[in-house]
Amino acid sequence: MITMTLGEIADIVGGTLTGGAQADTPVYSSVEFDSRSLTPGGLFLALPGARVDGHEFAAAAIEKGAVAVLAAREVDAPAIVVPSVVVEDSNADIYVHDPNGHGAAVVAALSKLARNVVDVCVAGFQLNVVALTGSAGKTSTKDFIATILSQDGPTVAPPGSFNNELGLPHTVLRCTADTKYLVAEMSARGIGHIKHLTEIAPPKIAAVLNVGSAHLGEFGSRDNIAQAKGEIIEALPAANAGGVAVLNADDPFVAQMASRTQARVVWFSTNAPTKAPANGSPVHNPDYWASDISLDAVARASFTLNTKDGSWPVTLQVFGQHQVANALAAAAIAVEAGVAPDVVVAGLESHSATSAHRMDVQTRADGVTVINDSYNANPDSMRAGIAALAYTVSGRPDSTGWAVLGQMGELGEDATQAHAELGSELAKYNVSQLITVGENPNCAALAQSAADLGVQTSVVPDVESAVELLGRRIKRDDVVLVKASNADRLWRVAEALHNMAPNLSQSQNPSQSQNQSTTSSSANGDSRRNVEGQ
């Protein structure tokens, strides 16, 4: 963080110095809510949680080197105390265990401090703020952008998915006088959330990747999701002030957002420019588009990056054809920020997965390939993961593709139907083996649908059972996709497979198993399903 005194911070956040805190004491290190991450000269955020309250760790934070605590009540340490805040009708996890408004007060103060840092760095040190949102692919695209921009100057980007009321300002406070780029990933659980985040870190360039059905249960409709996502480009400055909106021409919900911004609009697409159709429907010819897309044996894409100023071949090191759209969005943001195209291409080609459990593809000594995409899941990303699994298997004639799937969270009343529809995706791509992990209506709907469509389906209650089953049945060169929402913690399946002794035998029949039963489909007496209960 840029160096400030405790007195300056207190003035910015509207707090009072207590516990012997001195106004002229400098804060010159990081601002942390985890005391284990503190370094000398830092500031500790006292946040209440499900099991512990950060206020109780104030003294320990000072012993770790913090110069003070940002708190909502007096503590036994030097502190900046801010008044409590009441947050009504919030669905944020950080407020669940906050009956007194202490956490809300600290987060509000953190936001004020972060906005001040942005203003100082933009005005005094020429910081460039770029932002992005979307229903799927935000974190992967954010990582692409960070890799590219870091080749042009010092860049701050959030680790993982630090993209909410706490994660965004925490990331902002990592900016210093040397930072050239801040990459702000912005998420929403309702209308108005992204608007709030843009008030903390106002972007000059912003992208909307897509509008899917993630968080449909919280929003109620895709129209509402689009309304929320579009708030990011409403926050942009006008075109004559340098504002640039980067929009996905292939997504009709995103395409309709162009009228919501005064910024200059540029388009990206995985399709080449086309003439307007005879029916007069609008066509947004892209400024950045991909052609000649191909995939290697493990679904890493190569393509030609086209702009109105030239074309460049690109070979990605990350996995899945859906990464092409992510790479295009990142390229568009970087070029519009002033990065030379050859630097952009070098960044795209050097980039590897940096956020944990997102399309992390590893191959064991026995040729078993594990696609670990277990951090998050929604219908769009599930389809992309299944497609990547199918493509990887297609290049291995004697291998079996395994989809190890858990629940997709936050889909609301349509959740059961959305899970059932994944059965059709598995059948369409000829995925031969499905393991559903968890005893709940959503996994049951997925298992039933897939089995009815001829997918060999195993139902297991937990991660340990899934690992045991895979250990018995996978063979050389098989491909395993592990995917679910993060709450299911299915990444433990992927880690167990990596740590498992490789199977160096030549083959094993995946249909051979114990406790297998065959029953008639409830939907059609002529169709059969094989469901293995573990």
Q: Is 221 annotated as a binding residue?
A: no
d(CA 122, CA 128): 7
315 is in an annotated binding site: no
Backbone phi, psi, residue 432, to 5°:
-90, -20
Rounded distance between C-alpha atoms, residue 399 and residue 475, angstroms: 8
Q: Is 136 annotated as a binding residue?
A: yes
CA distance 202 to 118: 8
Query: According to the annotation, is 140 in a ligand binding site?
Result: yes
At 219, phi and psi to the nearest 5? -90, -35
Question: What is the rounded CA–CA span in Å between residue 207 and residue 191?
Answer: 17
Question: Residue 293: CA atoms inside 13 Å, Cβ hemisphere, count?
Answer: 18
Q: In the 8-state DSSP scheme, what is residue 108? A: H
β pairing state of 181-185 and 401-405: unpaired
Find out whether 137 is annotated in a ligand binding site: yes
Contacts of 123 (CB under 8 A, 6+ apart): none
| E strand or H helix that includes residue 448 | helix 441-452
Tell me if 161 is assigned to a ligand binding site: no
φ, ψ at 123 (rounded to 5°): -75, -40
Paired sense of beta strands 310-319 and 300-307, if any: antiparallel
Question: Tokens standing for 506?
Answer: 């030549």
User: How many CA atoms lie within 13 Å of 529's alpha carbon, on the beta-carbon side?
Assistant: 25
**Angle value at C-alpha 144, between 139 and 148, nearest 5 degrees:** 145
> Is 139 assigned to a binding site?
yes
Element of type H or E holding 405: strand 401-405
Residues forming the annotated binding site?
Answer: 134-140
Residues forming the annotated binding site for ATP?
Answer: 134-140
